[in-house]
Each structure stands twice: as C-alpha cells, then as structure tokens.
Structure 1
Amino acid sequence: MLLRQATMADLPQIETIISDGRDLLAKQNIDQWQGTYPDMSILVDDIEQGFTVVLEEDGEILGTTAVIPGVDPLYVDINGEWLTKDTPYVALHRVAVSSRHHGRGLANELLTQIFNLVDQSETIQSIRIDTHPDNLGMQHVIKKAGFTETGRVKLVGATKNNGDVDDFAYERLAHQPVAARV
C-alpha cells in the first residue's frame, strides 16, 4: 500500500469513500457528517491546497484524510490541554476508509503511514485529531494508534441540524518509538 498526495483525478473515489463513511455513521445513529459537512467544496479545497493524502493499492483508493499543517482554528480553544504548546503540528481531518475493504485495518495503516511521513520532518512535533463523542469506532482507532485524549473542542454547525458538538480531542507526539505504534 502506498500513501500519496491526492490529485483532482482522485476526487470521485474520495467522494465515494466520504459518502460511504457518512452512511455508516448514519446506520450507527451517530450524528457526525450527517449535515452538509464535508461537502464537495471542502474536498476540492483540501486537494487543491495539497492537504489530502490517499492510501492506494493496485490503483484503488482505500482511504483518505486531510493532513493540515499550521495552527488549526478548530484547535485554538480546547476544554482541556494539548500535550504541546506553540510547537508545529499537523491536524488530521476527514479520515475515512473504503467500505469495500472494512476489516482490513486500513485506518490503522493510513495513520501509520502518516506517522512515518511526519517523522521525516524535523519541525513537526505532534499530530492532532478529533472525533464525535458517539463515534466509538474512531475513538478506538485513535487510541490504538497512540494518541492521548486531551480534552474537548467545539465544532460549530457540525451536526445534522447544524448544531454544535464538543468533539473529543487527541494528540500524539511525533517521533515516538516504533514499539509505541499501531
């Protein structure tokens, strides 16, 4: 499996994976991604800015996420405390894997390859991510990957009725030893 930067040619497969993720969350009665988020304009913008990466095998996209460097406005205010302060980090958003390949550990593989990429940087000190309080599957993946729960972040208009939600926030230090990995 190969992790690579997404191109606009990947958009149809990425959109399908995001849609499948939305459907899976709906079946689990999780009010995450049930409104308009993430919409096509966000997916296009992520690709155009070079944030989207895809996990690919034999020409098929198996997973995707946006790896966003710099200060993430969603993570400025936290009810809790980040592990790092004022150090460079990347934020992961819109993590999704193909419904055709559930059960293969693709989310773990996607995160592991991102860790390898981040570890090549001498400046990035950590990785931050958040998820809905009801999304137990993603919480399991995040914790198994070595992230520490740091508090809650408020997402405005993130639910079906454009309501607010306090997502669980997590951080993982870069350059952790291989033994601490997924």
Structure 2
Amino acid sequence: MLLRQATMADLPQIESIIRDGRELLAAQDIDQWQGAYPNTAVLVDDIHQGWTVVLEEDNEILGTAALIPGEDPTYKQIEGQWLTEQAPYLAIHRVAVSSHHHGRGLAGELFQRLFTQIDHAASIESIRIDTHPHNMAMQHVIKKNGFTETGQIDLAAAGMPGTKDFAYERLTVNAKPAHVTATQTIK
C-alpha cells in the first residue's frame, strides 16, 4: 500500500469513496454528509491545495483524507479544551474508505501512514479531527489511533450552525511541553 498526494485524475475514485461513505452513514441514520457537503467543489479545492491524500493499492484508491495545515475556523471555539493551546497543528477532514474494502482496517492504516508522514514535519505539534456524535465507527477509529476526546465544536464556520461534532486531538512526536495545556502531559 502507498499513501500519496492526490491528483485531479483521482477525483472520480475519491468521489465514489465519498459517495460510499455518505450512503453508509445514511443507512445508519447518521445525518453526517447527508447534505451538499462534501461536494465536488470542496474535493477539487482540496486536491488543488495539495491537501488530499489517498491510500492506494494495485492502482486502486482504497481510502482518502484531507490533511489541512493552519488554523481551522471550526476549531477556534471549543466546548472543552484542546490538548495544545497555540501550537501548530494539522486538521484531518473528509476521511473515507472504499465500501469494497470495509473490514480490512483501512481507516487505521490510513491514519498510521499519515502519522508517519506528519511526525517527520518538525513544525507540526498536533493533529485535530472531529466527527458526528452518532458516528460510532469513526469515533472508534479515532480513539484507537491515539486521539484524545477534547470536547465539542460547533460547525457554524463550516456553514452548519447549530451542528456539533465531537473534537479530538493527538500530539505528534514534535509536541513541545510549553504548548501543552497544564492539565495534559506528554507521554
């Protein structure tokens, strides 16, 4: 398996995987991704920005995620407390795996490969992610991969006011003690 940056040629497979995710969530009566988000324009922008990565095997894309640097507007306010205060972080959004390969642990594999890549970026001290409160499968994957639940965020900045997601953060190997909140310790 290979983790690589997506190109526009990957868009049809990425859209198919996102559609699979949308359908799976709908079948579980989870209203996450049931509107226009994420749409083609968002996915194209992610690719153009260089944010989309794909997990590939034998020329087939098995999973995708957007790895976004800088401050995420949806993470400015939290009901709770981030592990880090103002440390540089990356946000992971739009994580999905192909329905043809469910049960293979691909979301975890995608995360582990992302962590390896991120841990080599000396300036990144943490990774943030969020998910719908009813998306138990993603919550399990997030927690299993070393994230700590930090509270809830409102998705108003993403155009969905009043929608709240669970927020998580994971420290990288580059986390500096000065950026970690007083209630947390680095292990």
Task: Give TM-score, length-normalised by structure 2.
Answer: 0.90
SS at match of 1:14: helix
Q: Which runs of 5+ in 1 are unaligned?
A: 177-182
* CA distance in structure 2 between the partners assigned to 1:172 and 1:53 by the alignment: 19
1:60 counterpart letter in structure 2: E
Match of 2:79? 79
| Deviation of 1:158 (Å) | 7.3
With over 3 angstroms needed to count, the CA separation of the structure-2 counterparts of 1:82 and 1:17, relative to structure 1, is same
1:78 counterpart letter in structure 2: I
The answer (yes or no) to whether the contact 1:157–1:164 under 8 Å persists in 2 is no
Q: Which runs of 5+ in 2 are unaligned?
A: 175-187
* CA distance in structure 2 between the partners assigned to 1:2 and 1:157 by the alignment: 33
The answer (yes or no) to whether the contact 2:63–2:98 under 8 Å persists in 1 is yes
SS at match of 1:71: coil
Match of 2:64? 64
Describe how 1:93-104 pairs up with structure 2 within 5 A: 93-104=93-104
The answer (yes or no) to whether the contact 1:37–1:158 under 8 Å persists in 2 is no
C-alpha RMSD of matched pairs (Å): 1.5
Task: Give TM-score, length-normalised by structure 1.
Answer: 0.92
Match of 2:12? 12
SS at match of 1:156: helix
The answer (yes or no) to whether the contact 2:74–2:157 under 8 Å persists in 1 is no
Match of 1:167? 165
Structure 1 window deviating more from structure 2 (163-172 vs 39-48): it is: 163-172
SS at match of 1:100: helix
Describe how 1:9-158 pairs up with structure 2 within 5 A: 9-156=9-156
Match of 2:182? none
